[in-house]
Amino acid sequence: MFDAFVQGLRDLGWVDGRNIVIEHRSAEGNVDRLPHLAADLVRVKVDVILTGSTPAAVAAKNVTGTIPIVMGTSGDPVRLGLVASLARPGGNVTGLAYDEDLQTIAKMLELLKETIPNVRRVAILANPDNPVHVMATRKVSGAARSRGIRLQLLEARGVQDFDVAFAAMTRERLEAVVVITDATFTRYRVELRDLAAKSRIPVIYGQRLYPEAGGLMSYGVDLRDCFRRAATYVDKILKGTKPADLPIEQPTKYELVINLKTAKALSLTIPQSVLLRTDRFID
């Protein structure tokens, strides 16, 4: 995603080391580090801050009300108090907003049910430190019940909690998993893939990065495209536009990605109805 942002800048004439300097900071999956990293960027007096997750956007907003902040992605910035409205942000924050809301998670459950018709017991893996996850999981039980699915919430704050979560899935005989998109989960997607393979449990994720890394399937927006679009916000701000005057964009294109090799390893036959709607296959 960072590479997509850099390429987006390059397409607009901004080249790192030539006419722009990029100060890159990463919490390396530890959200507790975000406030310190955001404060560090304020100290070095950057002109714009790009954030790559909801917690990062909140951390940046908490340390500056003046430096423009561009969200590469964020969940419900209005409810989180980051902006006044999507059409008129009204402060120093703008960019793109996307979260796996009730409708998106319901679609993920529908795809699981269509792929595995007999599925009844499904886990949803969420990060309790992610405010978007807290909001989403409160609403999703009804969507699961309407599809004949009993949903069980399992929580993980980081990679250290994955083993416990998957052990609970095995113990409770859960038949499939929905993993809500989270920056920490994405960073450790290989570990999630390995645990899913070891447990022989089908998992649907919210980003195509997961099936690209060997996960079964994903349904969600192309976040790399979001970060390419975020570059246009940075371009406009560097040319004098105020973030308060740049409406928040929301992605409109969703994609379904399936890793056929993983499906075969799980002895899953993907129904034709799902195959016909798939945007990308990974062999």
* pLDDT tens per residue, range 162-212: 999 999 999 999 999 999 888 789 889 999 999 999 999 999 999 999 999
Q: Are 9 and 92 part of one and the same domain?
A: yes
184 and 26 in contact (C-beta within 8 Å)? no
Output the pLDDT for position 102. Answer: 66
Rounded to the nearest angstrom, the gap between the alpha carbon of residue 54 and the centroid of all alpha carbons in its chain is 9
Indicate whether 6 and 112 sit together in one domain: no
Residues 79 and 14 reside in one and the same domain: yes
Residues 58 and 149 in one domain: no
Write the pLDDT tens digit of every residue in 9-66: 999 999 999 999 999 999 987 888 999 999 999 999 999 999 998 889 999 999 999 9
Dihedral through CA 151, CA 155, CA 156, CA 162, nearest 10? -50
Would you say the C-alpha torsion 184, 107, 216, 202 has a positive or negative sign?
positive
Range of the domain at 277: 102-221+254-282
Quick one: 235 and 273 in the same domain? no
- Specify whether 28 is located in the same domain as 41: yes
Number of domains present in the structure of the chain: 2
Task: Identify whether residues 70 and 106 lie together within a single domain.
Answer: no
User: Percent of the chain, pLDDT > 90?
Assistant: 73
pLDDT over 70 (residue 101): no
Q: Are residues 28 and 85 in the same domain?
A: yes
The bridge status of strand 217-221 relative to strand 93-95 is unpaired
pTM of the entire predicted model: 0.78
Q: What letter does residue 86 receive in the DSSP assignment?
A: S
Domain match, 277 and 144 both: yes
CATH code of residue 81: 3.40.50.2300
Residues 80 and 204 in one domain: no
